[in-house]
Amino acid sequence: MSTYRITVEPLGREIECREDQTILDACLRNGVWLPHSCTHGTCATCKSEVLDGDIEHGAASAFALMDFERDEGMCLPCCATPRSDVVLEADIDVDDDIEVHPVQDYTGVVVALDDIAHETRRLVVELDRDIRHNAGQYLKFVVPGKGVDRTYSIATPPTETRRLEFHVRRTPGGLASDGWVFSSMSVGEQVALSGPYGRFVLKVGGDRDAVLVAGGTGLAPIKSMIRHALENDAYDGHLTLYQGARTREWLYDVELFRELERAYPDRFTYRPCLSEETAEQAGEGYGIGMVTDVLAADHPTLQGKSGYLCGPPPMVEAALKTMMSKRLFPRDIYREEFFDESDKAGGGLRSPLIKR
């Protein structure tokens, strides 16, 4: 199998990449950070320019990388594989306060698999060795017998380095969720993983008050951030979590966050929100309405704060608009959208203004 040299500009770093390996994977495994999010050719976060050499574009979405961009020499390194030595120019904006952990392969054993909400399971995996990661990052799981991988965010804080928690929502017909996690997966099963990936991470050491909005299993990286901030004194500002769901059966970890609110009253506020229940149906302690409506009603302004958004793309986009309307600048909003394979055909690109 052929191996090629990848030169990453403007860093001037050179790495080796196999012809069957994506350029992003080779970079991350060699400690060269490239911007990325979905790692499946959907979000366009990693879009880069090929200055020299030949590549195969792979499974990049036609919405994330349009035909005219391919003709102009652009590529998505998360899908692109080399066919010669390549010189790549990437939009690298490294935050010096965030440690870069090279991607590695791991073997894990499923030690817990529990239903925690409607169509939602908590998956706990014990790794074969310790992993270093930042609060908010994710791992790739190899789907047995399918030759593909799927990504799930780590819900445990970085101080937990061996036993990791993940949240999985069932997607009807989904290759990994419906076809594996919700069907054949069992406690004691061995799984192959790699990581950590992603730059949607807690800005540790920050002192701004932060508003965190989570929808569905977008709660996983947010949970990691909150636990790390509170339990390990990793963040000095006050944190407010808005967890959105249709009804109470879609919510999970409510008591855990309420306990954190009781334990850290000066540092953490919890606001679970229900869009399809009345106040009478929900009972005390719930915000009623879309999570963005509750957020807007709670804050005359968000100026001077930070925002963290994670969940389905429509919720993230709505929360983004709400935060900006409350005078929170785009540079202070960080987000992660949970795409699935259908998004490759349907588009759903991100705003280039927002850090991820």
Domain endpoint, select from 59, 89, 119: 89
- β-partners of residue 14 are 7
Q: What is the tens place of the pLDDT at every residue in 46-95?
A: 999 999 999 999 999 998 999 999 999 999 999 999 999 999 999 887 66
Report the number of distinct structural domains present in the chain.
Answer: 3
Answer whether residue 169 is part of any domain.
yes
Q: Are 110 and 188 within 8 A, CB to CB?
A: yes
From the centroid of its chain, how far is CA 348?
Answer: 16
Question: SS3 for 32?
Answer: coil
Answer whether residue 17 is part of any domain.
yes
Answer whether residue 38 is part of any domain.
yes
Q: 253 and 161 in one domain?
A: no
Q: What percent of the chain has pLDDT over 90?
A: 83
Q: How many CA atoms lie within 13 A of 82 on its CB side?
A: 27
Residue 166, domain CATH: 2.40.30.10
Answer whether residue 97 is part of any domain.
no
User: What pTM does this model have?
Assistant: 0.89
CA distance between the termini of the chain: 35
Range of the domain at 168: 104-197
Q: Are 193 and 125 within 8 A, CB to CB?
A: yes
Report the pLDDT value the prediction gives residue 152, as an integer from 0 to 100: 97
For residue 268, what pLDDT band results from cuts at 50, 70 and 90? very high
For residue 339, what pLDDT band results from cuts at 50, 70 and 90? low
Q: 237 and 215 in one domain?
A: yes
Answer whether residue 98 is part of any domain.
no
Q: What is the tens place of the pLDDT at every residue in 190-231?
A: 999 999 999 899 998 878 999 999 999 999 999 999 999 999
Q: What is the mean pLDDT of residues 117-123?
A: 98
Residue 35, domain CATH: 3.10.20.30
Q: 336 and 235 in one domain?
A: yes
For residue 351, what pLDDT band results from cuts at 50, 70 and 90? very low
Q: What is the tens place of the pLDDT at every residue in 308-336?
A: 999 999 999 999 999 999 999 999 999 98
Answer whether residue 205 is part of any domain.
no
Distance, CA of 355 to CA of 335 (rounded, Å)? 7
Q: What is the tens place of the pLDDT at every residue in 276-308?
A: 999 899 889 999 999 999 999 999 999 999 999
Report the pLDDT value the prediction gives residue 93, as an integer from 0 to 100: 72
Domain endpoint, select from 42, 58, 89: 89
Domain endpoint, select from 46, 62, 89: 89
Distance, CA of 196 to CA of 131 (rounded, Å)? 8
Residue spans of alpha helices (H) in the chain: 23-29, 67-71, 219-231, 254-263, 279-282, 291-298, 313-325, 343-346
Answer whether residue 115 is part of any domain.
yes
Answer whether residue 166 is part of any domain.
yes
